[in-house]
Amino acid sequence: MPPTTTTTDQRPNVHEMVVVHRVFRRELSALPRLVRRVVAGDAARAALVAEHLELILDGLHMHHTGEDAVLWPLLHLRAAPAAALVDTMERQHEQVDARTEQVRTLATAWARTPTALAGEQLAQLVEDLAAALFEHLDLEEREILPLVARHVTVEEWQSLGEHGRDEMTFKQLPLMFGAILEDADDAERDHLLGQLPVVVRLVLRTLGARQYRRYITRVRAA
């Protein structure tokens, strides 16, 4: 039978999730402004902003599917007194997923025909998604991460990161890592990169970092 808690010196570093959450908070707060700044008819600029929105939504989807596959079943099994809380997290995922699909659908149409009306509708949908997501992230950091530290092993926790890396495309990998590392401090950056193979770590620190800087500069250009 799997252990019900982790030992003191083998607890997962749950702060990693806080670092990842910063990306969604930062980018989904900025994206409505980016959408609204696109001039009607500027299909090239709309396509770039929509592509960035898609990258963030893909990252969120990978993040949540990993939790659905790993965290919620483990916490239901090992932290039974918190079952109602875990149920709430699962329902919030469903609500976020529904809003995400609405955003994806409108973003595709807007990128193809970037009218002012469609842009404003998209910006408002992203704001609605962000509000629902941020409520979820706040609850997760406040209530779920302490449970994870007690009831999830290091290996199980690491499988979440592996899930995300396995799901990312070759193009997405340096961009998502660049986004995660952008606001990380030195200790957070060294910890996250230290979990990767040496070759991957080297690429992300050099070619990947330059690729991300070029990409995000274009996205945030006025």
Residue 82 gets which letter from DSSP?
Answer: G
Q: Write the burial class of residue 46 (CB in 10 Å: 0-12 exposed, 13-18 middle, 19+ buried).
A: buried
pTM of the model: 0.92
pLDDT digits (tens, 9 = 90+) for 52-106: 999 999 999 999 999 999 999 999 999 999 999 999 999 999 999 999 999 999 9
Q: pLDDT at residue 9 above 60? A: no
CB–CB of 64/29 below 8 Å? no
Rounded Cα–Cα distance for residues 157 and 98 (Å): 26
Tokens of 50: 């929509």
pLDDT of residue 222: 64
Q: What is the mean pLDDT of the chain?
A: 92
Residue 206 DSSP class: I
Domains in the chain, CATH or no CATH each: 13-168 (1.20.120.520)
Which residue is associated with the tokens 């699962």?
90
Buried b (16+ CB within 10 A) or exposed e, 68-98: eebbbebbeebbeebeebbeebeebbeebee
The model's pLDDT over 74-89, given as tens digits with 9 standing for 90+, comes to 999 999 999 999 999 9
